[in-house]
Amino acid sequence: MDTFPNYIDGAWVDSPDAIVNLDPSNLEVLGRYARADASAVGVAIAAARAAFPAWSTCPGEQRANILDAVGSRLLEQQQELGRLLSSEEGKTLKEGIGEVVRAGRIFKFFAGEALRPGGELLDSVRPGVRVEITREPAGVVGLLTPWNFPIAIPAWKIAPALAFGNCVVFKPAELVPGSAWMLAKLLHEAGIPRGVFNLLMGAGGEVGRAIVESPDVDAVSFTGSVGVGRGIALAAVGTGKRFQLEMGGKNPLVVLEDADLDLAVEVAVNGAFFSTGQRCTASSRLIVVEAVHDAFVERIIGRMAKLVTGPALAPDTDIGPVASAEQLGKNLEYLEIGRAEGAEVVGGNRPPLAQRGHYMKPALFLESSNEMRINREEVFGPLASVIRARDYDEALAIANDTPMGLSAGICTRSLARATHFKRHSQAGMVMVNLPTAGVDYHVPFGGRKASSHGPREQGSYARDFFTTVKTAYEAAG
C-alpha cells in the first residue's frame, strides 16, 4: 500500500515512519500516512518564513482565487470526501458530507474576507497629524486540529489564516490524516505558492511540540483538550507567540416546564448524541425542571431506543462508532464512574454487532447531581446526564456552575425566560430551542472560562487572531 506523503515547501515528502489510518466502523486499514518528525517541522517552518514576504503582500484577489477554488472543489467532491471523512472518523455519512459542505462554504466565505481586511483613517488629537489603522498578517502560524471534525476545523483555521496573508504549518490529529491530506491536495491543485501552506502529519508530542516551541512561528491556533491547550499556552508564552485555544465544553441544556417537550427531546438527542457525542459543543448536562422531569425522561428514553447505532456508511445509522479504542475505553470508564457516584445508567451497552468496530449505544445518567465527576469533566462520547432543578432560577445556577463556558441551551416557549437566559448564561454561545452543537460558519465561535482563550474563531471575527493591528501617524504638513 502506498504511503500518503506530507506536503512541505510545495513538494510531497515521504518519511520512514507511517501512521496507519483505521476505520472505526470495521477496524480495516484505510491508508498509510507519512509520520513527520521534528526535523521535517523545521524545514516546513523555514519554507513558510521564506514564502511570507511575497504571500503577505500579494493582492488579496490572488489569495481569494485560491480559497474560492478550494471551496468549489470541496463542494463538488462532497460525496467522495464525505465518505472518506466518515470512514476515518466514524460519524454518519450524512454528517460527513455535511461537514465537507461546511468546509467548502468556509473557504468561500474567507475568499471574500481576503478582500475585506478593514482599516481606519482618523484625525490625530494633534493638529496637522493623521492616523491610519491597518491590519497586517500575524506571520507564520501553526494550526493544530482535533480528530472530531477532520475537515471543518482545519478549514476554519486554514482559510482565514491564508485569507489574511499568513503562511501555514498545519498539523492534523493523528487519528484522521485522510481528510487533512485531501485538503492539502486541493490547496496544491489550486496553485498555493510553495511554502505558503505545509502539511505535517504526526504526533502531538513531537510535531505539535516542535511547532509550538519554535521561535520562528509567530502564532498558534489549537483546538483540543484543556490539558494540552494549557501546555501550549505555557510554551507559547515562553517563545513569545500569540495563541488561540478552543478546548472543552460541559454544555448545559435547560428544559423548562413551558417547553415543547417533543422539540426539547429532539434538541437534547441531537446535541447529546449526534456525531457520537464527540463535539466540544455537545449537550452533556440536561437540566430539567421538576415539573416536566419525569415526562422528559420517559420521552427521551423512548427516543433513544429508536436510535440505530451502526457503521458510519450504513444508510440507517443514526449513531456511528466511537472514533478510537482509546476513546471507547474512556467512555466505558465514565459509565462506571457515574454508576459508582450513584447515578442510574440507561443504555451505554455495546451492541452485539457481527462486525468489529468501536460501537456503544448512547447512554443517559439519571438522578445525577452537578457535583458528580460525570457532570464536571468532559467525556467526549455519547453520554449525557439528567440533572433535576426546582425551577428556572436553580436551573440557570446549575447551568453556570461549571469550569467550562462554551455553549449553553434552553428549551422554553417564554420570551422573557429565553431573553433572561441569553443575558445571564456564562457561555460564549447560547441557543434557544436549538441544540448546543451545530454552529454557523459566518459568525463568531468560542467560549469563556476554561473552554477558550484568545479571540473568537470564524466569521469576520477570525481577523482578530490572524492579523495584527498597526497604527501609523503622519504629519500631514
Min dist. Cβ of residue 26 to ligand UN1 (A): 24
Residue numbers 67-126 binding ligand UN1 by CB under 6 A: none
Contacts of 10 (CB under 8 A, 6+ apart): 47, 188, 192, 193, 194, 195
Q: What are the cell numbers at 82? A: 464525505
Min dist. Cβ of residue 428 to ligand UN1 (A): 11
Count H helices and E strands in the chain, helices first.
14, 21
Q: Which is nearer to ligand UN1, 15 or 283 (CB)?
A: 283
Min dist. Cβ of residue 37 to ligand UN1 (A): 27
**Nearest to residue 271, comparing CAs of 136, 438, 467?**
438
Residue numbers 252-281 binding ligand UN1 by CB under 6 A: 279-281
Q: Please say whether the beta carbons of 428 and 453 come within 8 A.
A: no
> Cα separation of 249 and 114, whole Å?
31
Min dist. Cβ of residue 430 to ligand UN1 (A): 13
Q: Which is nearer to ligand UN1, 372 or 437 (CB)?
A: 437
Contact flag: residue 439 with ligand UN1 (CB under 6 A): yes
Count of residues engaged in binding ligand UN1, rule: CB under 6 A: 12
Q: Which is nearer to ligand UN1, 162 or 280 (CB)?
A: 280
Contacts of 469 (CB under 8 A, 6+ apart): 133, 134, 135
Give φ, ψ of 349 to 5 degrees.
-80, 160
Q: Which is nearer to ligand UN1, 85 or 140 (CB)?
A: 85
Catalytic residue among 58, 167, 280, 411: 280
**Among positions 142, 146, 204, 311, the unique one binding ligand UN1 when judged by CB under 6 A:** 146
> Cα separation of 126 and 140, whole Å?
36
Q: Which stretch binds ligand UN1 (CB under 6 A): 174-182, 198-206, 299-307, 432-440?
A: 432-440
**Nearest to residue 34, comparing CAs of 154, 181, 188, 192?**
181
Q: Which is nearer to ligand UN1, 300 or 437 (CB)?
A: 437
163: helix, strand or coil: helix
Q: Which stretch binds ligand UN1 (CB under 6 A): 233-241, 260-268, 320-328, 434-442?
A: 434-442
**Among positions 23, 246, 318, 378, the unique one binding ligand UN1 when judged by CB under 6 A:** 246
Contact flag: residue 438 with ligand UN1 (CB under 6 A): yes
> Cα separation of 397 and 308, whole Å?
35
Min dist. Cβ of residue 105 to ligand UN1 (A): 13
Q: Which is nearer to ligand UN1, 153 or 201 (CB)?
A: 153
Q: Please say whether the beta carbons of 68 and 111 come within 8 A.
A: yes
The 3-state secondary structure of 326-369 reads HHHHHHHHHHHHHHHCCCEEEECCCCCCCCCCCCCCCEEEEEEC
Q: Which is nearer to ligand UN1, 98 or 311 (CB)?
A: 98
Min dist. Cβ of residue 339 to ligand UN1 (A): 26
Min dist. Cβ of residue 455 to ligand UN1 (A): 15
> Cα separation of 424 and 258, whole Å?
19
Min dist. Cβ of residue 85 to ligand UN1 (A): 14
> Cα separation of 358 and 354, whole Å?
12
Residue numbers 296-335 binding ligand UN1 by CB under 6 A: none
Give φ, ψ of 406 to 5 degrees.
-85, -65
**Among positions 6, 78, 87, 148, the unique one binding ligand UN1 when judged by CB under 6 A:** 148
> Cα separation of 378 and 184, whole Å?
31
Q: Which stretch binds ligand UN1 (CB under 6 A): 12-20, 201-209, 288-296, 436-444?
A: 436-444
**C-alpha angle with apex 216: 152 to 248, nearest 5 degrees?**
35
Contact flag: residue 441 with ligand UN1 (CB under 6 A): no
Tell me if residue 167 is catalytic: no
Q: How far is CA 328 from the centre of its chain?
A: 20
> Cα separation of 47 and 218, whole Å?
14
**Among positions 4, 52, 55, 149, the unique one binding ligand UN1 when judged by CB under 6 A:** 149
Q: Which is nearer to ligand UN1, 35 or 157 (CB)?
A: 157
**Nearest to residue 383, comparing CAs of 348, 337, 352, 407?**
348
For residue 467, which amino acid is it? T
> Cα separation of 386 and 437, whole Å?
17
Contact flag: residue 379 with ligand UN1 (CB under 6 A): no
> Cα separation of 410 and 17, whole Å?
48
Pattern of binders to ligand UN1 over 150-189, x per CB under 6 A? ---x------------------------------------
Q: Which is nearer to ligand UN1, 188 or 230 (CB)?
A: 230
Min dist. Cβ of residue 145 to ligand UN1 (A): 9
Contact flag: residue 223 with ligand UN1 (CB under 6 A): yes
- Interface residue list for ligand UN1 (CB under 6 A): 146, 148-149, 153, 223, 246, 279-281, 437-439
Task: Give catalytic residue positions.
Answer: 280
